[in-house]
Amino acid sequence: MTTSITRSNHTLSLLDGEIVEESELGSMRRVTADNLPILKGLSIKRVVLNPGAMRTPHWHANADELTYCVSGTALVSILDDGSKFSTFTVTAGQMFHAASGSLHHIENIGDDPAEFIIAFRNERPEDFGFGATLGAFSDAVLGNTYGLPSSDFARMRRSTGPLPPARPTDRKLAARIGDPVVPAAAHFNDPHKFDIEAQQPGLNYVSGNARFARDQFWPALKNISMYSLRVTEDGMREPHWHPVTAEMGYVQHGDARMTVMNPDGTLDTWNMTTGDMYFIPRAYPHHIENIGRDDWHFLIFFDQPVPADIGYKASASAYSREVLAAAFDTHLDDLPAFPFTPADPLIVGRVNPLD
């Protein structure tokens, strides 16, 4: 078996990810299967909007979107099929979900930059910008659509004509003109929105806790979910695997070490820090250990509405010592005194120093 502590095909820094757009308005960086080929069914993007900037109205042709607000205050609008419209505000620790094909936008309405970590339910999400798609149709077609003279559309900044050379331009980031317009209804609860950090931890241990965004708490989720996982400096996410669930994580804060075993028996072990992301395919055994001096906080996304896992602690209780001795090619007397564990704890304390 081989071990790597410097590079792995499971991880990249999202802070240094592919630049989608970057200007005085903010930035958009992403990691997809184009730059991390192991990704399957999930990808990730980081969006920073400066005050007065917005992610313009758009939709994703092949992916649901699950967004976590890291900082700032934003107005989100979503137009679903059936002309169902929602608008609401989000701030740090809150999330929203937009279904594939739903038109939506994110607008910074605060005085500080707003940062978002966005997971997509596809390794290569496809985007359509509403502004760019207007460039696909003639003035006459648009005039007929809105019941207006075609001349009303002649002065709009858009590209029309055959491709190439003319190409509709998607302005992903744009500046707002004037003050934000925030309807009173935007301050009500909305089914697209979920305040994950306001929830009581679904699992709470001495060495850490986990809050859940999954379908039993948030019915909007159909094929994606998320854990907000915090582990103390003396804690560890026990070795485990997800039988039918892939895992994609983002290090919101802290320093950690991860080990993954690949099907060919090779091992990847690497250190992660704030801004790094990783991907674990379905059923690959892995663990995460805090190696820093303070708590770490991970945003972990899954490709199922309710992720399931099998942990090593309970696994040792599932078999007799005779079976375990045979499996490990070890004499019975040399087996550790595995404690009986009817349910895995998710987070365990570190009773041994780092090795």
Note the CATH number of domain 200-349. Answer: 2.60.120.10
Q: What is the pLDDT of residue 1?
A: 39
Q: What is the pLDDT of residue 168?
A: 61
Instruction: Parse the chain into domains and list their residue ranges.
Output: 41-193, 200-349
Give 99-137 pLDDT, tens digit per residue: 999 999 999 999 999 999 999 999 999 999 998 898 888
Q: What is the pLDDT of residue 6?
A: 55
pLDDT-based confidence at residue 141 (cuts at 50, 70, 90): very high
Q: What is the pLDDT of residue 2?
A: 41
Check if the beta carbon of residue 43 is closer than 8 Å to that of residue 120. Answer: yes
pLDDT-based confidence at residue 229 (cuts at 50, 70, 90): very high
Q: What is the pLDDT of residue 272?
A: 95
The whole-chain average pLDDT of the chain stands at: 93
Q: What is the pLDDT of residue 158?
A: 67
Note the CATH number of domain 41-193. Answer: 2.60.120.10
pLDDT-based confidence at residue 331 (cuts at 50, 70, 90): very high
pTM for the full model? Answer: 0.94
